[in-house]
Structure formats: C-alpha cells, structure tokens
Amino acid sequence: MIVTENLYFRYADEKDENCFALKNVNIKIKDGEFVVIIGHNGSGKSTLSKLLNGIYYPTQGKIFIDQLDTSDESLIWEIRKRAGMVFQNPDNQLVATIVEEDVAFGPENMGLSSAEIRLRVDEALDSVSMGDFKRKPPHHLSGGQKQRVAIAGILAMKPKCIIFDEPTAMLDPSGRKEVMETIRYLNAHDRMTVVHITHFMDEAVHADRILVMDEGEIVLEGTPKEVFSQVDTLKSIGLDVPQVTLLSYELKKIGFDLSGENLTVEELVEELCQLK
Amino acid sequence: MSIKITDLSHIYDRNTPNETVAIDQINLTIESGQFVGLIGHTGSGKSTLIQHLNGLLKPSEGEIVVSGYNITEGLDQTHSKKRSQRKKEARARKKKLIEVRRRVGLVFQYPEYQLFEETVEKDVAFGPLNLGLSDADAIERVKEALSLVGMDYNDYKDRSPFDLSGGQKRRVAIAGVLAMKPEVLILDEPTAGLDPKGRDEILGQIKHLHEKEGMTVIIVSHSMEDMAKISERLIVMNRGRIVLDGHPKEVFKHIDRLEEIGLAVPQISYLARALVEKGFDIDPTILTVEEATQCLAQKLNRKTKSGELC
C-alpha cells in the first residue's frame, strides 16, 4: 500500500545542504496493516506523514501510494483520494455548518452524483457511529465527536488508507477512547490501512507494527512487544513505554520471573498471578 | 496566595435560547502554595472557571478573592450619564484588571501560538513592560523567568522564538507569564502535544517552581497519569460543578464514577484494582509505577520466603 525508497527530505528554507528532516527512510506498509509511528517532537513523524499525502515532495528517493508516485503532480488528487489524512485539531478540519455537509465536502469535490454522495455520507457517518448527529452543527459536538466527523469526511472519499497525525492530542480521556475505538474498528472491520502517529504509548499497543523515529530516521521497528521491551533505548531518545510495561520491566530487573514485556493490565495481572 | 471562590456561577448567552450554565454555584478555597490539578471532560467548565481567576470572564454571580483582594468587584460597566465619569470608571477598571493579572498568571493551551516578537527576549519582556516596568527591570525579569524554565538567557535572548522546537517555544511562552511574577500560576493543559520527554521536563520545571518560589499552581490536564504523579490536590469537574475534591489517591479510588463522567484513572490504578480482585493483598490506592514496583516487590518476596499463598 505504501512504499518509500531511500527517502530523503530537506525543507526548502533549510540552508544547510546536509541537514535533512528525513534521512534514508525505507518503509513498506501492507494493505490492511495498522502501523503506529512514535518519536519525539521534531523527529520527523509529521514531515513523513505530509510526504505520504503529497503535501510535500521528496528531495531524494520515491514514495509510492498504491503504486502511484507522489512526486508526479498529475496524480496528486488520485493519491489523496486513496490516502486520507486526519489532523490533530478537530476545529481546524471541519468546514461546514452542519455535520452531513461537512462529510459531503470531499465527495462533492470529486464530482459524484448527489445520490452517490447521500449514500456515502450516510455510510461514513454510520461507520464512526455519528449517524444520529447528521443535522447538528459541528460546534455543538465534543472533541471526540468532532474528530469522528473528520474521520467520516475522509471515509466518504473511500480511501484505502488513512493517516492520523496525533488525532487524540487535544482530547479528554473519553474522546481519546472513542477515536481509538473508531480507528481500530475501521482497521479490523473494513480492513482499512492505518498509519497512526501518536505521543501516547498506550495507543500503540494494539498496532501490528510500530516504527520509531529519531532525527529523521527509523531507528527501531517491530511488533509492540518487540519495540516496548527496549525500555532503555526508547528512554534515551525521549520516549516512554506504557506504564504496565514499565512496571513489568522494573519488576523483572529486580529479579521477578516476568516476561518484562506485558502491554496490557490483563497480561500483567495474569503473569503476576502465576507468581502468587 | 490563597484563592477563595464563593457561589460562583457563569451563564453563557443569558436570556437567549442558547443559554448555557457553564459554572454552577462553585465554592472553592485554594490555600496559598498548593499544587492543584483540575480535571474534567471537555465542556465540564474547567476553562471557564480558570478564565474567571484572572479577570478574562466576569462572573454572572458570586465573587473571587485572591489573597484578600476581591478581583470580581468593580468590573461591571456602569452607565453614568456624564462622559467624564464614564472615562474615570473605565480607567479604574483597566487599573484593576492589570492588578488582577499581575497577581494571577494564566498560560493558555498551546501558548506557543501566542509568541509574536522577533526575539525571545522581546517576547518574554512584553508582559513586564506592559506592567510599566523600566527596560532594565524588565530585562532582569526576563533573565530570571528564562532561567526558571531552564533556558539560558545569553543562549536564547536573540533567537527568533519561531526557530525553536515545540517544547522550547512552550517554555518561552510560560516564561512570558512568569516574568510578570504572578502569585498564582494557572496552566491550561501545558503538556498537550508534547512528547514524553518534553512533557516530563515541563512538569518537572513547574514542580520545581512551585517548590522553590512557593507559587500556588493550578494545572488543567487530561492526563490522569501526570496528575497522579505531581498534584497534591485533585479537583474533578462535571457539568459546571465540583464532583470530587481531594488527594489524588482519594480521588482515583472512584474509578466507576470517574469513567461515568468521561474520565479515567492512571493505568496503575486499573492494575491495582484487578490485582485486588484476584486476591492480592496490596494497597488499592497505588498510582505510580514506582509505588507499584515497591509494593509488589514487598508483597511477593515475603510470599516466596514463607511459601504461603495469598
């Protein structure tokens, strides 16, 4: 679904020729995969996501979305149709005064018939469980609901992949939960390819694969268990692990017979019960 | 500096079809030097409440007294007939608000978007200069404020705030408020959008400020983990009212109640509850990884030695 080959990127206002925001990034994301990208502020995560969506073009190397080359400007609308993007601030993404009009914005721009638009809007809102809010003004919704409407707006364009750039950073705990459940549902139920960028380590535990970025490079890659067992490496690049994983790791360090890589409360409870 | 809030209510769009009660009869006393966490789901009234504390919003009812100084008095527009009288009152209101904001500093969410000057020095000096300080005094304040947020004055003073990283920008913005030497510092989600390291740094510095300067601190946050780690008192809001108020250990005991109002508890609290349900004899109020490590190490070691089951 997404392939990058020897990707390098330098911002246009960067004077130093050797200062790249992204260096030699080679990733392959399969159809239907759920990939989480973590990294500290300024590590290149958001830059990468903007390249995947054709907002920026590679300085060197290539990116293919569904075999389409993002540096070919004539393909840009086709690429954005296939790889939609959801950003951090829900208030910056909603444009219309009524929820369903907002969701219809994308398909309208695609020049679809009004019957088709109606169908897609309804389907999209149902997928994010916001069907009951069709005729509400977006500013009456909570943060989590607004973010789900933003997701519906992308779904209405029938993409194959959605890139989420910190979609939960501004939400309260229940809003985060709603959005994460929606993302997981889309991935599991509709086989949507998901690229999810986040600073919340506990949102990464359900991913198929985690990519860790530092200084514009991918420095670690693997399943959540593989990645989060590298507690010291992650800490050294300004990251963290979920609290239960840290606890499991700390207990293992002082001699407990634990795997040290539990990702959820249930897993750790089970292992601790074995010790009892 | 203590804060005393009495019967505070705030109603948006009063006497219109959109009338909304954002704050509903709140009574609250915050003692001088306390470190308070304020949590609640979006729309629970947290931001409305803190905006009252430095005079950005005027209460519909009730009053707020900050260290003996009533900040809600005399804010009303009067409708004097005489123009000279109205002018005089406007001046008095302005003076009053400057006094309020000198005492209570408010750092908004994503404060880095409010940086606007050419250099870090000018940006941080903006507040003190507005308070009427001389250039030399303002520079002193800038030096102090930057060092409080862990930034070296000489390294950063001439840099453009826009060339800094996200965490650095945020620290400059916080320094801009600290430079006014408030007695109470209020921060609205100071760590939103920061990576774990940036988050720990900012919180560490706020904690340090609190300890060193004895500043009263109120932090609004959506991170239950952070609140468990640093606050001494946790206030929970729902629908414009205070529903829980106490030490984090006390507050986070109410897992079901918190979930019901759209909140959560730290992951370690969930773990503690699950372990207690499985028959582990551990303190159900543990909140942090350190506490849990200690507690479990003690319990399980003792068990292995004596060979007993729990």
Residues A200-234: tens digit of each pLDDT: 998 999 999 999 999 999 999 999 999 999 999 99
- Does pLDDT of B76 surpass 80? no
Q: Does A250 touch chain B (CB under 8 A)?
A: yes
Q: Do A42 and B296 touch (CB under 8 A)?
A: no
Residue of B nearest to A276 (CA): B309
- Does pLDDT of B157 surpass 70? yes
Predicted TM-score (pTM) of the model is 0.85
Which residues on B lie below 8 Å from A276 (Cβ)?
A: 278-280, 300, 303, 309-310
Grouping H, G, I as helix, E, B as strand and the rest as coil, residue B72 is: coil
Which residues on B lie below 8 Å from A272 (Cβ)?
A: 275, 280, 296, 300
Specify the CATH number of the domain B3-249. Answer: 3.40.50.300
Pick the closest to residue B94 from B77, B111, B113 (CA basis). B77
pLDDT at B305: 46
Candidates B196, B222, B264; nearest CB to A238: B196
Q: Does B136 touch chain A (CB under 8 A)?
A: no
| A/B interface, count of CB pairs below 8 Å | 115
- Residue A90, token pair as written in the block: 């829900």
Average pLDDT over residues B161-189: 89
Compute how many other C-beta atoms are within 10 angstroms of the C-beta atom of residue B135: 10
- Residue B281, token pair as written in the block: 């004899």
Compute how many other C-beta atoms are within 10 angstroms of the C-beta atom of residue B212: 9
Candidates A142, A177, A240; nearest CB to B196: A240
Architecture of domain A2-223: 3-Layer(aba) Sandwich (3.40)
Distance from CA of A2 to the nearest CA of B (A): 26
Q: In the structure, what pLDDT confidence band is assigned to residue B239 with cuts at 50, 70 and 90? A: very high
Q: In the structure, what pLDDT confidence band is assigned to residue B78 with cuts at 50, 70 and 90? A: low
Distance (Å, whole) CA B132 – CA B173? 20
Which residues on B lie below 8 Å from A239 (Cβ)?
A: 195-197
Dihedral (Cα; B200, A262, A237, B248), 10-degree rounding: 0
Residue of B nearest to A13 (CA): B163
Q: Do B193 and A88 touch (CB under 8 A)?
A: yes
Whether the CB-CB separation of A153 and A145 falls below 8 Å is answered with no
Average pLDDT over residues B47-56: 90
Distances (CA, A) of B198 to A111, A195, B263: 45, 23, 24
Which residues on A lie below 8 Å from B300 (Cβ)?
A: 256, 272, 275-276
- Does pLDDT of B304 surpass 80? no
Compute how many other C-beta atoms are within 10 angstroms of the C-beta atom of residue A44: 23
Q: Do A276 and B309 touch (CB under 8 A)?
A: yes
Spell out the residues 6+ positions from residue B118 whose beta carbon is closer than 8 angstroms to its own. B160
Candidates A142, A202, A276; nearest CB to B310: A276
Distance (Å, whole) CA B184 – CA B164? 27
Residue numbers in chain A where pLDDT is lower than 50: none
Q: Do A247 and B309 touch (CB under 8 A)?
A: no
Q: In the structure, what pLDDT confidence band is assigned to residue B106 with cuts at 50, 70 and 90? A: very high
Q: Do A246 and B274 touch (CB under 8 A)?
A: no
Domain with CATH 3.40.50.300 in chain B: 3-249
Whether the CB-CB separation of B224 and B39 falls below 8 Å is answered with yes
Query: B 146-205 residues with CB below 8 A of A?
Result: 165-167, 192-199
Distance (Å, whole) CA A136 – CA A159? 25
Phi-psi region of A67 (alpha: psi -120 to 50; beta: other; left: phi over 0): left
Least confident of A61-75, B41-55, B93-107: B93-107
Q: Does A202 touch chain B (CB under 8 A)?
A: yes
Q: Do A272 and B303 touch (CB under 8 A)?
A: no
Distances (CA, A) of A141 to A128, A136, B43, B259: 14, 8, 10, 19
- Does pLDDT of B306 surpass 50? no
Q: In the structure, what pLDDT confidence band is assigned to residue B207 with cuts at 50, 70 and 90? A: very high
- Residue A239, token pair as written in the block: 């990251």
Query: A 161-190 residues with CB below 8 A of B?
Result: 166, 169-177
For tokens 């930057």, what's the residue?
Answer: B146
DSSP string, B240-289: TEEEEEE-HHHHTT-HHHHHHTT----HHHHHHHHHHHTT----TT--SH
Global ipTM: 0.81
Q: In the structure, what pLDDT confidence band is assigned to residue B39 with cuts at 50, 70 and 90? A: very high
Pick the closest to residue A140 from A97, A92, A188 (CA basis). A97
Which residues on A lie below 8 Å from B296 (Cβ)?
A: 247, 251, 256, 272
Average pLDDT over residues B201-218: 90
Distances (CA, A) of A5 to A53, A60, A65, A217, B152: 15, 9, 12, 13, 41
Which residues on B lie below 8 Å from A254 (Cβ)?
A: 293, 297
